[in-house]
Amino acid sequence: MSKDIASRVTSGVQALALPGQREGWQAQHRGSLLTDAQAYDALADAVQSDLKARRLDGDLPWGISAAARARKRVKPLRDAARAMRKAARAINGVVAAYEETQPDVVLRRREDKQLKKAQLKAAAGAAAHNSAQVTLQRLAPGESEGDPAGAPRLLGDFFGSGQQRRGA
């Protein structure tokens, strides 16, 4: 029996490693898990309806006790169905992990990351250079001979003549 499990595991890993067989492996295993989940749900529905119909002495009227007892008894089946659906989602995660760790995908992702980092670094350098240029222009010697060298220019200097405007 262990040889059977070992060979199934080995063939599963080999199928995951090959891009052409990966989708088939995923569809097969995911489909079987979802089919099992549906079977457990159907079985739980049948058992629950059967147990609801069985009334015992001492039950509350209107079948409240029978319905509660039925829900309690089919809870393990519902949990099994939920676990099968969770396992089907895990199959997708395993396949995604194999796709994400392909050497060419990892290399491309790293190159894209380095390119984006270089672009951001260049943009930050350009912004710093432009900021420094603006500061140097603001602190440059005055435009007329009477202005002292290095005199800072005021915001009002950028609005034309030195007349005060309304609201200013």
One domain, residues 35 and 50: yes
Q: Are 98 and 17 in contact (CB under 8 A)?
A: yes
Q: In one letter, which amino acid is 19? A: P
Structural domain harbouring 115: 103-134
What is the rounded distance in angstroms from the CA atom of residue 52 to the CA atom of residue 130? 78
Kindly state whether residue 145 falls inside one of the protein's structural domains.
no
Q: Is the pLDDT of residue 86 over 90?
A: yes
Q: Which residue has the tokens 């395993």?
A: 94
Reported as a pLDDT band with limits 50, 70 and 90, residue 102 is confident
Q: Does any domain span residue 152?
A: no
Around 10, how many Cα atoms within 13 Å sit in the side-chain half-sphere?
6
Distance CA 137, CA 63 (A): 88
What is the average pLDDT across 88-111? 83
In this structure, the answer to whether residues 49 and 117 fall within a common structural domain is no
Q: Give residue-wise pLDDT tens across range 114-134.
A: 999 999 999 998 888 888 777
User: pTM of the entire structure?
Assistant: 0.52
Q: For a pLDDT cut of 70, what percent of the chain falls above it?
A: 68
Is residue 167 in a domain? no
